[in-house]
């Protein structure tokens, strides 16, 4: 028998205090969303299909293999059982791959300079962040594009620091105002570190740049021992040139990063229909095979070294040959890759949240949300390019990075899913409201108690009625994002202390303020 309770009258007064309390930052334990929430409820592949992709990848490695490994990589992989054919291709029998899988790091944590931003990569824990190598910045004020600069990259890092739902900062653009490639790599690292205390991903233009960049990194970490204890930067490494070739110089860079104690992202970025099979299953299979070869490589150099299984197959518009990163096919590619990562029990990442739209418009919104939601629901540990990326990876937008904080917040609420238990079914609340109460749930103690812990509210998204919108002088979403950008950049403090910042600028040519 249900106990009947009469709903209490609404309390008077204290509204301003309650509004202020709701506007304040929530304690971690009652936040409705947070980094590392468990996804994995979406399965676009059946278990049998996952196994079929795995078996086909193993067959490809055993019969086709990969070409163009550097001699150091050939020596290391042959030493663990790979076979170098007369055609120069390395082939990997099933037992060689299985041995590498057994050695691979699984429950890894990507450290941040601030430990509260550490990324736990295991199971179906989901994290969203930036990535890419955009050559242009989107200028929303003039509806145009211009070359990216070191200042733009630093500003993107500073904005990321202020975004609750952008969990890591992998270099999203190339500093085109720096002609010297070593100086560009150094400025990329320092621009990111000075802008954010979250985990950082970067690339190196040449293997010879790893050593001088590690000197800067040790300086920023407080010494080599401190760096090795908490490596807060990972190497995004395109170690293959699809289809099924090692990228010789990138592999040399990867070896140096491994020996320097830097986690690596094994990034296979084939384009379905061009450098990967045109079918979704075939593109996933090839990326899986290439990354399995990468695991053999990494564990041959340093067994158990932290590596992210970076299957990044991209979609292609076969009518024009243009990338279609905002397509439904792209969302399926990344979701299928997430299932392969979970099949192996490996930390993994794929692309999601990028758009083919040139500006942060309606097209950008639907494209970014589609793959961000599907990637999260599929349990991708790392959803790369989830914020700010436009024009099929050619343009990065600071306003879009800010808008993506709202977008990813809603995606993460989808990842959280639906809790069904005695409390959430709310039968007692129903009785209270329906039997002697007001007949509605507005203002009840239960509703008020859950309004912050169960619901995600947009910071910039507008839920006003048309009348309220008119009275507020018709606030514009993009204009508000620009204002938020300017406020962050006006307030954002350098994330490196002043003495260290001076020391870095005395030693290196730094291209941003």
3-state secondary structure string across 387-450: CCEEHHHCEECHHHHHHHHHHHHHHHHHHHCCCCCHHHHCHHHHHHHHCCCCCCCCCCHHHHHH
Beta bridge partners of 235: 202, 264
By C-alpha distance, which of 401, 498, 463 is closest to 153? 401
Output the CA torsion 385→300→80→90 (10° steps).
Answer: 40
Q: Give the distance, in angstroms, between the CA of residue 70 and the centroid of all CA atoms in the same chain.
A: 29
pLDDT of the residue at 448: 86
- Range with the lowest mean pLDDT among 85-99, 165-179, 449-463? 449-463
| Torsion angles phi and psi, residue 144, rounded to 5 | -150, 180
Decide if 166 contacts 408 (C-beta within 8 A).
Answer: yes
DSSP state of 8: P
Residue found by looking up tokens 């350098």 in the block: 494
Decide if 403 contacts 368 (C-beta within 8 A).
Answer: no
Q: pLDDT-derived band of residue 24, with 50, 70 and 90 as boundaries?
A: low
DSSP state of 86: T
Find the distance separating the first CA and the last CA of the chain, reported in whole Å: 69
pLDDT of the residue at 184: 98
Q: In the predicted model, what is the mean pLDDT of residues 361-382?
A: 98
pLDDT 10s digits, 46-65 = 999 999 999 999 999 999 99
Beta bridge partners of 21: none
| Torsion angles phi and psi, residue 111, rounded to 5 | -75, 150
pLDDT 10s digits, 68-77 = 999 999 999 9
d(CA 206, CA 181): 8
By C-alpha distance, which of 188, 210, 260 is closest to 231? 260
Beta bridge partners of 84: 90
Domains parsed from the chain with CATH numbers: 101-416 (3.20.20.480)
pLDDT at 250 over 90: yes
pLDDT of the residue at 28: 75
Q: pLDDT-derived band of residue 443, with 50, 70 and 90 as boundaries?
A: confident
DSSP state of 13: S
pLDDT of the residue at 56: 98
d(CA 485, CA 260): 36
pLDDT of the residue at 1: 35
By C-alpha distance, which of 69, 70, 96 is closest to 82? 96
Parallel/antiparallel/unpaired status of strands 316-317 and 322-323: antiparallel
Q: pLDDT-derived band of residue 9, with 50, 70 and 90 as boundaries?
A: very low
Q: pLDDT-derived band of residue 7, with 50, 70 and 90 as boundaries?
A: very low
Three-state SS for 325?
coil
pLDDT of the residue at 25: 63
Residue found by looking up tokens 């920023």 in the block: 220
pLDDT at 321 over 90: no
Q: pLDDT-derived band of residue 264, with 50, 70 and 90 as boundaries?
A: very high
pLDDT at 11 over 50: no
Q: pLDDT-derived band of residue 154, with 50, 70 and 90 as boundaries?
A: very high
pLDDT 10s digits, 335-348 = 999 999 999 999 99
What pTM value is reported for the model?
0.94
Q: pLDDT-derived band of residue 493, with 50, 70 and 90 as boundaries?
A: confident
pLDDT of the residue at 485: 97
CA atoms 463, 490, 507, 153: torsion sign: positive
* Average pLDDT of the chain, as a whole number: 94
């Amino acid at each position: 028998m249900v106990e009947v309770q009469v709903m209490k009258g609404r309390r008077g007064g204290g509204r301003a205090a309650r509004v202020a309390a709701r506007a304040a930052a929530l304690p971690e334990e009652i936040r409705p969303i947070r980094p590392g929430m468990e996804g994995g409820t979406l399965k676009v592949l059946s278990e049998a299909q996952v196994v079929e992709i795995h078996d086909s990848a193993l067959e490809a490695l055993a019969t086709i293999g990969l070409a163009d490994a550097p001699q150091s990589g050939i020596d290391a992989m042959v030493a663990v059982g790979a076979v170098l054919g007369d055609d120069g291709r390395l082939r990997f029998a099933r037992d060689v791959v299985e041995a590498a899988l057994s050695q691979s790091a699984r429950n890894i944590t990507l450290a941040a300079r601030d430990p509260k931003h550490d990324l736990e990569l295991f199971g179906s824990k989901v994290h969203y962040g930036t990535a890419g190598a955009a050559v242009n910045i989107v200028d929303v004020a003039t509806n145009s594009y211009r070359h990216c600069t070191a200042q733009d990259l630093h500003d993107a890092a500073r904005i990321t620091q202020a975004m609750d739902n952008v969990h890591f900062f992998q270099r999203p653009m190339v500093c085109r105002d720096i002609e010297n490639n070593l100086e560009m790599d150094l400025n990329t690292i320092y621009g990111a570190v000075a802008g954010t205390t979250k985990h950082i991903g970067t690339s190196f233009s040449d293997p010879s740049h790893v050593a001088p960049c590690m000197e800067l990194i040790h300086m920023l970490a407080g010494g080599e021992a401190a760096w090795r204890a908490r490596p807060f930067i990972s190497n995004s490494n395109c170690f293959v040139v699809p289809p099924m070739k090692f990228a010789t110089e990138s592999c040399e860079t990867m070896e140096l990063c491994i020996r320097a104690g830097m986690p690596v992202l094994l990034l296979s970025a084939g384009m379905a229909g061009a450098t990967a099979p045109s079918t979704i299953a075939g593109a996933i299979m090839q990326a899986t095979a290439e990354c399995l070869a990468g695991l053999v490589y990494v564990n041959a150099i340093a067994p158990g070294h932290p590596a992210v299984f970076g299957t990044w197959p991209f979609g292609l518009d076969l009518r024009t040959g243009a990338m279609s990163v905002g397509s439904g096919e792209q969302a399926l590619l990344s979701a299928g890759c997430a299932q392969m990562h979970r099949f192996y029990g490996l930390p993994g990442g794929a692309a999601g949240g990028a758009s083919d739209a040139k500006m942060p418009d309606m097209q950008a919104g639907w494209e970014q949300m589609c793959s961000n939601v599907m990637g999260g629901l599929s349990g991708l540990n790392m959803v790369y390019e989830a914020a700010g990326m436009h024009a099929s990876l050619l343009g990065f937008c600071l306003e879009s990075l800010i808008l993506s904080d709202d977008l990813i917040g809603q995606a993460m609420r989808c990842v959280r899913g639906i809790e069904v238990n005695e409390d959430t079914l709310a039968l007692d609340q129903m009785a209270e409201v329906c039997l002697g109460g007001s007949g509605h749930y507005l203002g009840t103690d239960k509703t008020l108690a859950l309004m912050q812990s169960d619901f995600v509210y947009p910071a910039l998204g507008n839920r006003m009625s048309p009348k309220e919108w008119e009275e507020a002088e018709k606030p514009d979403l993009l204009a508000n994002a620009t204002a938020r950008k300017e406020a962050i950049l006006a307030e954002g403090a350098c994330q490196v202390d002043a003495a260290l910042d001076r020391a870095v600028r005395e030693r290196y040519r730094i291209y941003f303020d």
